[in-house]
Amino acid sequence: MRTVKVLGSGSSSGSAHRRHRHLGDSEVKDLHVAGTADPDVGQHRRGQLSTTSPRAPLLIRPRRANTKCKFCRECQSPQGSGWVDSRENGGVIAGELSSSPLLEGSASADLASFVEHLESRRLDPGDRLMLEGEAGQFFAILVSGQVSVTRDGPDGPERLAVVGSGSVIGELALLRGVPRTATVTATVPTVALTGDTEAFALLLELPGVRERIGRVVSARLAEVVRPVPANLQDGTPILLRPLLPSDRDGIAAALLEMSAESLRRRFFTGGQPTERVIDYLVSIDYVNHFAWLVLDARVPADGWAVARYVRRRDTPDCAELAFAVKDAHQGRGLGSLLLGATGAAASVGGIRDFTATLLSDNAPMRAVLAKAKATFAFDEPGVSRAELSVENAALRLSDPLYRELQSAARDVVTAAGLALAHAARSPPAQ
């Protein structure tokens, strides 16, 4: 990966060492970049410095590590103060990264090689690492410190999260080729490592990282999906959105409200699920395990039902279905609607068939599946197994609602599969 250093203006001799912070806007066009005499390589446009090569991220290196870049502070460019070549401290940085949950289990030699493809940046409180609306040309791993993630709202900036060391950020815009949806600002002195698509491909090759990144990317995509509005048979407005890990407390509370009979039909026992089971219910990767949550459109914090499918390991084009509906909302058509919704999501996940294991006396669920032309067979005493096609499940929805749910699920379902595979296929650095 090429490292490009901005040295100054004029020739590459004495005047070239003039510190970058002394340049005014009128002098920016005369910046020279090491290795080229093209004055158009350095640009000040829309608050950003860039190079003519998309694979050569600009590295601004002040003469002293503690020298602030006045030019970049004025334009609030993401290429701000304190860029330092990570190869100067590669061993130290690799050691710090090894304690990150994301990189747990990675060999020191592999981490050191990966770090060579990154740039290290020191941020002071208030420095911006990423800006909402800009092109997503790099991702970042926080080595130390803390950043605030915000987005523009009708009443000013809205804080979405506070992120600490060991976290990866900015990968969504990089993978999807879309503008950033949030601004990332340091709240304390922070060190971040940044890399482009090629560096991200190397990251995915580290042991276990692909799966962990897949979960992170999918969950973040699920968080930004707009809930899909729908109506029950009696006209009651509801919302459907993917279930999130942050819904755990709500799921635990809803289970406490369910009757022993409803719990028996769902879990084959009338007792409350264990904490471990609840953890599993919200540990979703959206590729092999997907779930829809139904909310009251009038009180969006009130969840009414959940439907999920879990891909079978022995037959990857088949998935197991499961539903849970609060007692107060049973018999209102939620079962048929959720069956269609799972079909919409599964249709973009490469799943062709559903199976469902249910108690033989679970007449309501049996009726819902029968309407989708399911076939039933004996599984064990008191238990039946149903089989049906994803296509027939999806037919339980109107065409417009099916298309909306399918669109809402597409990015989420394919994130860890298609998007990450695309990143891994990126050509190696020249």
As a whole number of angstroms, the distance between CA 397 and CA 376 comes to: 22
pLDDT over 90 at 365, yes or no: yes
As a whole number of angstroms, the distance between CA 334 and CA 107 comes to: 49
Do 163 and 53 share a domain, yes or no? yes
Q: Has residue 49 been placed in a domain? A: yes
Q: What is the CATH number of the domain that holds 259?
A: 3.40.630.30
Do 203 and 301 share a domain, yes or no? no
pLDDT over 50 at 349, yes or no: yes
Given 174, 196, 223, which residue is the final one in a domain?
Answer: 223
Q: Domain range spanning residue 100?
A: 4-223
As a whole number of angstroms, the distance between CA 329 and CA 169 comes to: 39
Q: What does pLDDT average to over the chain?
A: 75
Q: Has residue 386 been placed in a domain? A: yes
- 305-314 per-position pLDDT tens digit: 999 999 998 9
- 97-138 per-position pLDDT tens digit: 766 777 777 788 888 888 888 888 999 999 999 999 898 889
- Fill in the amino acid letter for 43: Q
- 252-293 per-position pLDDT tens digit: 999 999 999 999 999 999 899 999 999 999 888 788 899 999
Tell me the average pLDDT across 213-234: 78
Do 149 and 20 share a domain, yes or no? yes
What lies within 8 Å, CB to CB, of 415 at 6+ separation is 175, 214, 217, 218, 221, 286, 287
Long-range residue pairs from 283-286, CB within 8 A, at least 24 positions apart, any chain:
283/245, 284/218, 284/219, 284/242, 284/243, 284/244, 284/245, 284/308, 285/214, 285/215, 285/218, 285/416, 286/218, 286/219, 286/221, 286/222, 286/242, 286/412, 286/413, 286/415, 286/416
DSSP class of 194: E
pLDDT at 286: 83
Give the count of beta carbons closer than 10 Å to the beta carbon of residue 64: 8
Do 144 and 123 share a domain, yes or no? yes
pLDDT at 35: 27
- Measured CA to CA in angstroms, residue 126 lies from 3, 23, 27, 164, 344 at distances of 26, 22, 26, 15, 43
pLDDT over 60 at 237, yes or no: yes
Question: Which has the minimum average pLDDT: 25-34, 300-309, 326-335, 415-424?
Answer: 25-34
Domain count, the chain: 2
Residue 371's H or E segment, with its range, is helix 363-371
Q: Has residue 426 been placed in a domain? A: no
pLDDT over 80 at 168, yes or no: yes
